Amino acid sequence: MSELTHVTLNAAGKAVDLPVLHPTLGQPCIEIARLPKETGCFTYDPGFGATASCKSAITYIDGDAGVLLYRGYPIEQLAEHSSFLEVAYLLMNGELPTREQFARFEHEVTHHSMMHEAFRTFLYGFRHDAHPMAMLTGMLGSLASFYHNDLNIEDPEQRRLAAIRLIAKVPTIAAACHRYSIGWPIRYPRNNLEYTTRFLHMMKEVPSEPLELNPVAAKAMDLLFILHADHEQNASTSTVRLVGSTGANPYVSVAAGVAALWGPAHGGANEAVLKMLEEIGRPENVGSAVARAKDKESGFRLMGFGHRVYKNFDPRAKIIREMCHKVLAELGVDDPLLEVAMRLEEAALKDEYFIQRKLYPNVDFYSGIIYKALGIPTEMFTVMFAIARTAGWVSHWLEQQEDPENRIGRPRQIYTGAGRRDFVPMPQR
Ligand code: ACO
């Protein structure tokens, strides 16, 4: 069959030719930009399920085949052979680094990991029980006040530096938010440690004694960071791009991404999974939980199941499932929630309701259990996701700023309100 080059739309007797664009991988795309002019009609696609918002060379997903590629490299290979920081370089720059390039990148990230001391005052203004995602959103937004006047986003080198600063500072800020909420003194980043280990030290080390960190913990955290680093035009990345399309400062663009990530339908799901597993409590309660999830009246969904794009399986969930067992065994954690999780997965995968709707465990189903085993408090789970996704957000922001087709994002609507009517003065209403 010859390649589809255009489609013809018949609009009230007028034939309109629409070009078809072909990506390097994936489904062809009908370009509709001319449609309103030619037909007087817009298109309607709530939730953007059928609409590409940009061209991007960063991440490819085939939801039906369960494929995830970062810059062409399969997630399974990166999970096995790479590190989070190398993946961050790859996402930002398009190619894997040479030894020298990586050493330079690591040095730069390491040497931008400190926070301005004034940040403490800002942090201490939050209520002690503020949710860390609320703090992270505020703290990242406030970075724009530290790097504003001298930031010229037209300059590629300044854009690159902003991206490095974000990747470098997010773990420091995240750990500081956690420590503030539990009343521990803030720990400075230690330059002799690599990225993920440095973060775990900032989270866990008390001033009174050195921290003995199990290397399995750092390895597991690094793997989770790799798996969460990017996922093409998801809600938070699209938010970063929408804010970025206005020419806004990169720090507030990323802060907006953090806000979008917080929702339970997106990154907040890992926290919701753990709360759900705790609520279910025991393996024998799994059956009634599955029944409740199928009952639309209950308003209850199985958290960690289903995905907008993966309608077969989530390749990240496959890798995480294995890691989950390994971490629990090596750290000697005997967590009854894992038994609940296994039973739940088994029951849902056998159930017609879930099979018909292609609802499989997603990445968040297991990540919460691993975070729990690593001693990360539940309310910090989405913050972990945000640290990793910062690599993706800044890469998309960089790509967007260089894209000659970048325009301010401005969706249309189907107006369903009142027709034109005249103002009625208050006494006559
Ligand atoms: N439990 C029970 N039923 C579900 C679930 C679930 N987790 N997810 C979807 N369904 C049902 C819906 O009720 C709907 O049924 P219907 O066709 O009878 O009306 C059908 O499956 C399709 O669901 P949609 O909401 O249309 O699917 P969509 O692609 O819009 O949503 C989403 C995807 C938001 C992830 C959804 O599956 C969900 O809410 N899952 C739970 C939350 C979650 O785990 N989110 C994490 C996503 S991954 C990430 O952000 C890293």
- Name beta bridge partners: 17: 8
Most informative mutation of 295, 300, 308, 367 for ligand 1 (most atoms within 8 A of CB): 308
Q: ∠ at Cα 416 (414, 422), nearest 5°?
A: 125
pLDDT, one tens digit per residue, over 277-332 is 999 999 999 999 999 999 999 999 999 898 888 887 889 988 988 888 788 888 88
**Selection from 367, 365, 375 nearest residue 331 by Cα:** 375
The maximal CA–CA distance of the chain, rounded, in angstroms, is: 79
Tell which atom from ligand 1 comes closest to the C-alpha of 234: 50
pLDDT, one tens digit per residue, over 74-86 is 999 999 999 999 9
Higher confidence at residue 34 or residue 159? 159
Tell which atom from ligand 1 comes closest to the C-alpha of 308: 29
Catalytic residue positions?
307, 364
Most confident residue range from 212-216, 325-329, 411-415: 411-415
Which segment of 55-69, 169-183, 184-198, 369-383 scores lowest on mean pLDDT? 369-383
Question: Cβ contacts of residue 147 below 8 Å, gap of 6+?
Answer: 162, 165, 249, 251
**What is the Å distance from ligand 1's center to 269 Cα?**
11
The DSSP secondary structure of 393-409, one letter per residue, reads HHHHHHHHHH-TT----
End-to-end CA distance of the chain: 66
- Residue 26: pLDDT band with limits 50, 70, 90: very high
**What is the Å distance from ligand 1's center to 307 Cα?**
6
Which segment of 93-102, 189-198, 268-277 scores lowest on mean pLDDT? 268-277
Ligand 1 binding pocket includes 265 (Cβ within 6 Å): yes
- Residue 149 in this model has a pLDDT that exceeds 80: no
**Spatial distance between the Cα atoms of 365 and 399, rounded to a whole number of angstroms:** 31
**Contact criterion met (CB below 8 Å) for 172 and 120:** no
Element (H, E) at 212: none
| Cα dihedral 238/239/243/244 (nearest 10) | -40
Tokens of 159: 């854009």
User: Which residue's alpha carbon is at the smallest distance from atom 45 of ligand 1?
Assistant: 265
Q: ∠ at Cα 375 (372, 379), nearest 5°?
A: 65
Mean pLDDT estimate for the chain: 92
Tokens of 191: 């330059």
Ligand 1 binding pocket includes 266 (Cβ within 6 Å): yes
**What is the Å distance from ligand 1's center to 181 Cα?**
32
pLDDT, one tens digit per residue, over 89-128 is 999 999 999 999 999 999 999 999 999 999 888 999 999 8
Question: Cβ contacts of residue 15 below 8 Å, gap of 6+?
Answer: 8, 9
Tokens of 137: 């959103």
Which pLDDT value is given to residue 1? 55
Ligand 1 binding pocket includes 268 (Cβ within 6 Å): no
Ligand 1 binding pocket includes 75 (Cβ within 6 Å): no
DSSP, collapsed to helix, strand or coil, labels residue 70 as: strand
Which pLDDT value is given to residue 326? 83
**What is the Å distance from ligand 1's center to 221 Cα?**
26
Tell which atom from ligand 1 comes closest to the C-alpha of 307: 35
Which pLDDT value is given to residue 369? 82
